[in-house]
Each structure stands twice: as C-alpha cells, then as structure tokens.
A and B are shown apart, each in its own frame.
Chain A
Amino acid sequence: MSTVAIGHAWRVRAVNEEGTSEWSRSAFTARDDATAEPLAQFTLSSVFGQAPLNLVVDASTAYDANAITEYQWDFAGLHSVVGSDAITASHEFVIPGTYTITLTVSNAAGLSDTKSVDVTVTQGIPADAPSTQEAARLLAQASFGTSSIAIQEVRQLGLEGWIDAQLELQGPPHLDYVTTYSNGSNRDARHEIWWLDAVDGDDQLRQRVAFALSQLLVVSDTGFTLANAQYGVTNYYDMLRNNAFGNFRELLEQVTLNPVMGIYLSMLQNDKGSNFDNTRADENFAREVLQLFSIGLHNLNQDGTLSGGNTFTQDDIESFARVFTGWNYKNAGQWDRPLFTGQDLINPMEAFEDHHDKDAKTLLGGMSVPADQSARADLEMALDNIFAHQNVAPFVSAHLIKQLVTSNPTPEYVSRVAAVFNDNGNGVKGDLGATVKAVLMDFDARDPAASDNFGKLREPVLRLSHLWRAFSVTPGNLSARGEYNTYSTALKNLESITGQAVLRSASVFNFYSPAYSPSGPVQTAQLMAPEFDIFTDSNILTTASRINDQVHRHYKQTTTSSELNPSFLDFGPEIELAADSQALLNHLDLLLLSGGMSDDLNTVLLAHLDSLPDNEAGHVQRVQDAVSLIVASPEYLVQR
C-alpha cells in the first residue's frame, strides 16, 4: 500500500501464483476531493445484441466526494432521463444500428463529468424466421458449410431472402492472387486462394455453384501442359464463377472459346480436314460438348427419364468437329504457334479463317449451317443448335440437383427445376440463377422428412470446408501469407489422399460418374451415388486421418516447429458447453448434422462423452471426440 500525491497518476499490477503479472491498461489519477469534479461512470446490461434490445444502464459506480446532485442520461438523442435519483435508466432499441449512450453527472459545486459508451444493435430474428435446423440444412446445400454466424444470417433474411441476397453477391476473381504468388507453374497459389475464398468469402452460393459447374464443364491440370498453365486454369474457374448465375448459353460459349478448354479437349489449333493428307478435324471437343456438357447420349423427357433414342450420331459429331476448326490463341500471330512461348491463356480464342472448314454442315435435328460462313458465325449457330435441344434443361438441372441436394431426385423434382431452366418466368431459357433457386427452394429439397433414398454422400472438399467454417479455422504461424493449409498433404495435392481437388479430376469424366452405383445397399436399391466412386478404402481412411489430425492435433496453434504451418481450429464455444455433454451434442448436432442426429447416435456419443473426466482437459477431449466421431459417422457422411 502506498500514498499517491494529488494529481499524480498510478497503475495497478496483478500478480498470479506463477508470478505472471500484467499492469492495468488504465491509469488512475489521484484527486483532490475538495475541488474535483464528479466522476461519470456506468455499466450497461449489454453493448451488443439483436433487436429488440432492452438496454439497462446503471450509474452506481459514479462518484463525487460529496454527492452527485444530478444524473442526466441521453440515449442517442432518442430519449433523455434526468433526475437526482436517476441512478438507473433503460431504453428499448428496435431499429438496428450503433447508438451512443451518454451519462452526465453534476455535483453541488456545479461541476460535471461526462462519459459515453456505444451500443450496437443488430437485426433481430423475425417472428416467421426459419428454424435453426432449417437454416442449417439450407447452408449444407448452398454454402461450403454451416457455421453459427451463417445460421443467424439465414434466419434474419429467411431462406428465400438469403438466396436472393446471395444471387446479388460476387467476390473478386482469383487470378490476381495467383499472378502475384505463382510463376505460372507453381501450383500452390490457385488452391490457396480457392480455399481462402471458400471458407471466408461472402458469395457462398455463387462459389458453391461454380464448384458444381467445374464438375460438369470439366478441365483438369493433372496433365503436364495445364499443370504449367496455372494462370489460365485459375481464369477458367473465375469464368465459371462469373457465369454461375448468368445464362447457360453464354456460359457454354465462354467455355467453348476458353484456351485452357481448347488445350484440354484439343479444340485449340484444330485444323480443318484435308483429303490430300487424309486428315479430319479433331472430334474430341465436339463429342464432349454434346455428351458431357449439354445433352448427354440419350434423349430425355423434361423429368430426366429416357424418352428413347440417341441424341446424336457419329455424323453429327463430324459436323460439329468441322464447325470447331480454325481457333487459336488470341495472340497467336501464326497458326502453328507452339506451346509455352508466351501464349495467351486468359482471353478467348480467335479464329484463323484459312484454317476453318467452310463447307456446309448439318447439325442436330437436320439444322443446316450454310457454307462460307466465318468460324464465329458457325460456332454461334452450333451453340444455338445445342442450346435449343430439349435435353439441356433436364441434363443441367439434374446435375445441379445432384451436386447440391440429392443423388436420386424424383423425376417430378427434376421436371419442376427443368421447367424453370426452360423459362425463368420472363420467357428466358437457361437462367442459371433462377434454376439454382428452384433447386434449393423446391419442396423436395426443403423437406427434412424426405424419402429414405434422399441425400448425397458429402464430397471430400466439402467435408474439409465445413470443418474449417464451423470451427473458425486460423492460418498457422508459418503460413506465408495467411493461407490455410492441411497437415502432411498440401492442398494442391488433396486428390492424392481424398480423391478430389479443385480442377484436378483424372479425366474429363470428373471425379465420379453421375450414374455410379456402388455394389451393396445402394445398387440393391437401384439407386445412384456418384460420390462413392472415390469413397474407396484408402480414401476413406486417409481423409478421416487428415480430419482427425485437424481435430485432435491442430485444434490450437501448436508449438512444435515442424507443425507451425498447418491451420488450426477454434473450439472455444464448444469447450464452454462441454461440462454438459448433452448440451455439447445439441450444439454440434445443429452445426454438423443440421439438427437431424438420431437418438441412437446421441445415446452412443453421450455415453462416451460422459465417460471422459469433467475437468478442463476432459472437456477439451469431449469436444474433440464428439466432433471427430460425428464427422466419421454415416449420418454426417450422407448429407440429408
């Protein structure tokens, strides 16, 4: 204890048992009671909350040597309370915003003091808001993973309101980051920015749809050529994201003219045929643009069922192949410009008319393309011809449903969505934004009590992104530029242990075939479950191991020098609940299973958690065990 002279400042230092100490952040000043002003101080019931927020303020700690003669409260100019006994006051805020609360205290000598504190009021949850479970279920289908904050956002806006807001959002392209941090061959940057954006970006739905489109309009950089074309590959993905809510006809054109696609499916520098040399135009792109990107092999009804017959013949392929001739890098200069001499992999390809087949062609349905048209005119007619086919609506709709919602949509569901693809309500065909909204708002998607066959196996990429979003992943201490990373296997090689990494499928047929049916219960039930094609023994085990590394080892920043790079999770909110195992399970049920945890699963987990000690270390372990066991369970693996 010591005495401080008037006017001098002093601080307090707290020391704990281990000798660690910290000085107070504020300094105190010794006062002369006889001549000093009063001291304005008050506490608030909260400084942050949702509307309507009832704020109670309390000035019991305000001080004067003699007595405070008047308390004056100002609630952001909305409301005042004045009085000699107005030690407490209250105000209800109904409109979201930041408000300044000011207290002025006066004493008998006429001196006064003022103090202000800001209060933030956020938008409240409307009375008709979706439940937390409904919000979580939508997020599982329409984002890269449910988080507590995201659930609140969806509840505030409503399911449809959230989707509408998402349709307006678009994050910046990835190309800038990649050109900054990669020399074009270095593969890390493309994946770093993809994961940063998937976890933290606001345009969740757009990114999720871009990811779905990347599995329809496939390019892959697992081959040598595109592995060294990281700028072009990144730009290809940016292009998909740009068009995710645009029109499918435009998307198809941008894909067709993209030089990276040109390399991948040999459309670039595809020369017209020559009878003299006994050569023909390459058919690779012509075939895949029909078979894989737009109409498939067999004629379909609007509900996706077969209507009989094939969509195209070999003759059609040859005609389309002749259409797609004469295209080259924008900066080619000469026709046979070789690779890797500064070619333009970003801008759309441009035509060399001399190398374009100018003969007449006959396309689908007998449509004639007249002779002597430019390459561009032929291309537009061909894409219009494809786009007009009745298969496009069910083909694209079914793909989106299977990517976002369920592997086995009913024909009625497909038909309802395809109807929107065919006409968005304003007479426009191919409106992807409207189609995506139809996919998500359909009763089949929103109804949690859907059939036993409902659901889809979660993709490895989405399992990791969910974990990172739900538990606020933080970059490791050795991250070069704040990027996220996994333990032991870099993100750029994720497909080597999980079977999937962005734009790295083994072939243009994507990571898995849309009709894949694994032998076992799925095949017996005559269902499809494409994602099981990469759910192999080794992928199952290594993916689970990497997730467990994250949960059991990297749940906080480690100090082991070899492990300062991997990102780490934050289980703070969960640990606070862990003294009550059931409360913890309820929380994780919502976050991870959208509230659908079965009683059986709850029973098994509860017994295990309660067997762990009820102390600090035990609580941490309860959280880790609960999380890792839930995400390994079939109820999690199959999103419903």
Chain B
Amino acid sequence: MNKHYSRRRFLKQVAAASVLGSVMGSMNGKLGMMGSALAASGDYAGLSDYKALVCVFLYGGSDSFNMFVPTEQGLYDNYAASRGSLAVDRDSLLSVGNNSGLGFNPNMPNTRSLFDSGDLAVVSNVGNLIMPVNKTDYLSDSADIPVDLFAHNHQQEQWLKGLSSLPSSLVGSGWGGRMADLLVAANSNNKLPPTFSMGGSNHWLPGNASTPISLNTNTGLDPISFMNSKGTPSSAARANVLSQILSLPSDNPLQQQAALASARGISSADEIIDALGTTDTLQTPYNASSKLAKQLRMVARLISGQQALRMQRQIFFVGMGGWDTHDNQSVRLNGLLTELD
C-alpha cells in the first residue's frame, strides 16, 4: 500500500472523536514518537517539567516540493520533469545525512544543519487528503475528497482544524487547541490558557475547553491606558467601573461575547505583564525587520518567563504570510525560504 496520509495515530491522543466522523489519512509511523510522548504521560496534572510546542504556519501554503527535494537521480528526474522551469537545480540542493538521496532547498542552510545535528525532522506527505486519490478517481467522482478542495482559505482552515471531510464552518476547534484541552490540567496557572498566538486570530489554537490568548509582538499585552487597575487612583477607578460594565447582563450574544473578550483581555494582561517584566534579557539576536523573527522573539520571552507564568505546557502559534506564490515563484519563494531559514 503506498503512502497513506494520516494524523489518525497522533490525533487519537487529542480526542478527535469530539468531532463527528473524524477521518484523516494515515501517517506511516513518522509521528509515532510524538504520539507516544503524549501517550506516555497519561495523567497530565501535576507535571513539574516544562515543554512548549511552537507552530510556525506558512500562510498561503509553501511549495514544499521545492523545500525538501530528492537528490537520487531517478527520483530527481521524475521531480524535474513535473516541475519544469520551477525545478530546483540538482547541484544546488543541500544534501542531508549520508547518501540519504534527499536535500534541502539551497536557501535553507541553517535548516539543513539542524537536520544533520539531529535537531530537526521532516514529516512529509501530511495533508488534507482523506484517502489516496489519483486523477482517474478524481475525474470520475469516485474518490472521497476534501470539501471545497482548491479553495485556499477552506483548505488552510481544514489543515488547521484537522478535518477535511466536513465544511470547516462546522468544526469549532483546531487540533492545536484540542491538544491544549488535554494539557490544561498540567498548568498551575488557571487564569491563562495553554495556547498563545503571536500571529493573530487563527484556526489552530481554539480548543473545545479553552480559547487562545492573542498577543502583540512588541510588548505582549498592555493594560488599557487611563483604565488600569494598577495605575493612578482615577485610572483605577475607571478600570473598576469598566469591570462593572463588563459584568452587566445582556440578551445579545454578540454583546456577551464582547464583554467576555474584553474582560479576558484585561485580566490576561495583568498576568502576562508581571511575567514578561523579567524577561527582556534574551541573548539570541533576532532580525528586527522580520515579522516572523519578532513573533519568535516574543515566544522566546514567554518561554523563558514560564516560571513566572506558572505554566508547564504551552502551545504557541506564529504566522508567516506571503507563501501563496502564484507568479514569480522562483524569486519570491527564495526570499521567503531565506527568511524562514
């Protein structure tokens, strides 16, 4: 049986059963290690060590066939024939390992080093397809294919939600969020969710039992000017009145939502500011002009502040845009890969 596409083994750990009829293709064992790590700690409460998962999401979808390319001649020829002028030159590929027959795009030397030192693994052939499909099956409508296939926004959403057999509007959570649902018990701080986004609102982090916090890359979260419970007396007085206002009942779900979101933003800011106050001493240099780097820097600060935050398990989302390289791909993709590297 040729390669299956599946997160089933992995997602079994994240209660995908909460969604109707979960169907994902299968993974051929490459994520087994991650799956078993999660399974090993059956009781998530009371963990004393710290782990973080960071998702760097490439909005628009990277042309990953050009990121990690076969160098073995026969396979490479296959690749080059189908890619035409977009094929990466075989001699320029950065080979990995010893005679692995695989190599990274030439713009990714740092990625290659990480792979060679054993700090990076590639999980390939993971995607939204529900089952293997060939052109005949597709044209004859006999295959089970993802809903709204080819629509960028829907396919991205399905990837992040971990389900492609239903319209994504019917799926309320992302698989990062469903992991977080399991891990909530691990954290001493119950005022903050395990999930933090540096990349704004996204479909990966919301869970069934938790809603992610969205931070800005410069300061994390700032209290509201002139309405700060830790500010001047008049500022604190206003903060107090606002808090009363946000507790007033309403029959309108949108107003209720606005009240909850506002209140939560305010209380999260209080939690995070104290923790971040101690952590702006990172040594690693970050590229100030890269939005990706700035997000990762804030993630690093939050990770180094995990003790003050009292969190043992954290899941971060970082976004990098511009990967929907329709035209001029050979130039644009190189630039994007360099920045990512």
By a beta-carbon cutoff of 8 Å, the part of chain A in contact with chain B is 223, 265-266, 269-270, 277-279, 282, 284, 287, 291, 297, 310, 314, 317, 407, 452-457, 497, 499, 506-507, 509, 513, 515, 517-525, 527, 529, 532-542, 544-545, 548-549, 551-553, 598, 600-601, 604-605, 608, 611, 621, 625, 628-629, 632-635, 637-638, 640
Contact = CB atoms under 8 A, between A and B. Distances in A.
25 contacts: A223-B322, A269-B327, A277-B84, A279-B84, A297-B151, A314-B150, A452-B252, A507-B59, A517-B169, A517-B172, A520-B256, A521-B256, A524-B253, A532-B257, A536-B197, A537-B265, A537-B269, A538-B220, A539-B214, A545-B226, A549-B225, A552-B225, A605-B245, A632-B242, A633-B245
Given A266-B327, A297-B148, A541-B265, A640 B245 contact: no
B48 interface: no
A536 B216 CA distance: 10
A507 B84 contact: no
B242 A507 contact: no
Contacts of B253: 452-453, 521-522, 524-525, 527
What 3 A-B pairs are tightest by C-beta distance, nearest first? A536-B214, A537-B265, A521-B256
Interface stretch (B1-9, B71-79, B125-133, B233-241): B233-241
Contacts, number: 189
Nearest to B199: A506
A537 B172 contact: no
Interface string B167-198: 00100110000000000000000000000010
A515 B251 CA distance: 22
B24 interface: no
B242 to A, nearest CB: 6
A638 B254 contact: yes
Contacts of A621: 234
Contact of A540 (B248, B256, B261, B322): B261
B242 A629 contact: yes
B257 to A, nearest CB: 5
A524 B246 CA distance: 19
B259 interface: yes
A447 B106 CA distance: 63
Interface residues of B, number: 62
Contacts of A407: 254
A621 B85 CA distance: 67
Contacts of B266: 541
A192 B225 CA distance: 25
A549 B225 CA distance: 7
B262 A540 contact: yes
A605 B265 CA distance: 22
B200 interface: yes
B92 interface: no
Contact of B248 (A453, A497, A521, A600): A600
A509 B264 CA distance: 27
Contacts of B260: 520-521
Contacts of A287: 150-151
Name which of B234, B241, B248, B326 has the most chain A CB atoms within 10 A of its CB: B241
B331 to A, nearest CB: 11
Nearest to B267: A537
B258 A634 contact: yes
Contact of B227 (A506, A604, A632): A632
B214 A538 contact: yes
Nearest to A536: B214
Contacts of B252: 452-455, 638, 640
A520 B221 contact: no
B244 interface: yes
Contact of B151 (A277, A291, A519): A291
B206 interface: yes
Contact of B153 (A454, A457, A513, A634): A513
A522 B197 CA distance: 21
Contacts of A454: 252
Interface of B: 59-60, 84-85, 148, 150-151, 153-154, 169, 172-173, 197, 200-201, 206, 211, 213-216, 220-227, 234, 237-238, 241-242, 244-246, 248-262, 264-266, 268-269, 321-322, 324, 326-327
A291 B222 CA distance: 38
A74 to B, nearest CB: 56
A9 to B, nearest CB: 52
A545 B224 contact: yes
Contacts of B246: 633-634
B171 to A, nearest CB: 11
B227 A637 contact: no
A562 to B, nearest CB: 16
A518 B173 CA distance: 10
A519 B262 contact: no
Contact of B254 (A269, A456, A539): A456
Given A608-B237, A621-B234, A536 B226 contact: no
A520 to B, nearest CB: 5
Contacts of A628: 226-227, 238
Given A317-B150, A545-B222, A628-B227, A604 B255 contact: no
B224 A638 contact: no
Nearest to A523: B172
Name which of A453, A525, A542 has the most chain B CB atoms within 10 A of its CB: A542
Given A534-B201, A629-B242, A635-B255, A282 B248 contact: no
Contacts of B173: 519
Contact of A522 (B216, B225, B257): B257
B249 to A, nearest CB: 7
B82 to A, nearest CB: 9
Given A536-B265, A628-B227, A638-B252, 14 more contacts: A506-B59, A520-B257, A521-B257, A523-B172, A529-B257, A536-B201, A537-B269, A538-B222, A541-B223, A544-B224, A598-B248, A604-B244, A629-B242, A633-B245
